[in-house]
Structure 1
């Protein structure tokens, strides 16, 4: 299994307001690296208080951080040729699309899958499929709503789900999740 798990935190309700990005790279079913970037969003210095309540990131935390377009090439290198997985992937894919659009950058030709779909297929008896609940169920400790931690927890949950479903190769993901696999 080769994929990257991503997670964004945003400063406002605007999808292009990424203030933190985490990417966890999985190669041969092993987590090989996780990286987090604080990002100065286009809305800077404005952050919606509701967003701050969720992730705890303040404008002062990102005042000297790069903008999304300044980190994208490093991020893209980590994601190159990979399947992208995110928990509630429509949100994270939407943030990625909006950030790329805002800076006039090309979208990579990448497929993405939601780890909620993997979890529902793997553990169809659970009452909840939020990242925190799944992490607790699998005894995965993490700092919820911080992008690197969320991306790594997502990767661990996806790996456990694939193991439960006896999926050992990326090609098998396409077969098992054909309708759930989306293009960025």
Structure 2
């Protein structure tokens, strides 16, 4: 199985406010690449609610690259791949809206309109709740929840274990 798992954290409720990304590349059932970056959101603006969830603050991203600066790394890992996310509609929306904000062409990534979703997969398996942390715990997957790279890795492992 070959695919790419992705997770975004956002600075505010606006989906174009990505402040961290984690990407795991899997080929032939093995993780072959991991990528993580903090991202300075527009105006380095944060909401207290989002900070409470992931712990990333303005101080963490004041010198971080903008999305357009990390985009080449994201593009090379996503283009033409099967993409997996936990709650894929959220992460897909963050990618699309952040790319739109920076005037980048989403269609150039050649991605499916709907990604693979471990949240849906594990709900269908009867997990309730089917949040990433609960699914990972039940599957024995180590997770630091709401840390983008750890969440992407957890999602990748869940996707690999879906038929076990």
Q: Where does structure 1 differ by over 3 angstroms across 4 or more consecutive aligned residues?
A: none
* Structure 1 segments unaligned to the other structure (5+ residues): 165-184
| Whole-angstrom distance in 1 between the partners of 2:85 and 2:22 | 10
State TM-score, norm by structure 2. 0.94
Q: RMSD of aligned C-alpha atoms?
A: 1.1
Larger radius of gyration: 1
Question: Distance in 2 between the 1:39 and 1:127 partners?
Answer: 32
What per-residue deviation string (whole Å, max 9, x for no partner) do you get for residues 143-169 of structure 1? 1001000000000001100x33xxxxx
Aligned length in residues: 160
The correspondence of residues 1-184 of structure 1 with structure 2, limited to 5 A, is 1-44=1-44, 46-107=45-106, 108-111=109-112, 112-121=115-124, 123-124=125-126, 126-161=127-162, 163-164=163-164
For residue 51 of structure 1, report the CA deviation from its aligned partner: 0.3
Gaps of 5+ in 2: none
User: Could you tell me how far 1:43 is from its partner in structure 2?
Assistant: 3.4
- Taking structure 1 as the reference length, what is the TM-score of the superposition? 0.84
Q: Give, in whole Å, the separation in 1 of the partners of 2:128 and 2:101.
A: 38
**C-alpha distance in 1, partners of 2:89/2:78?**
17
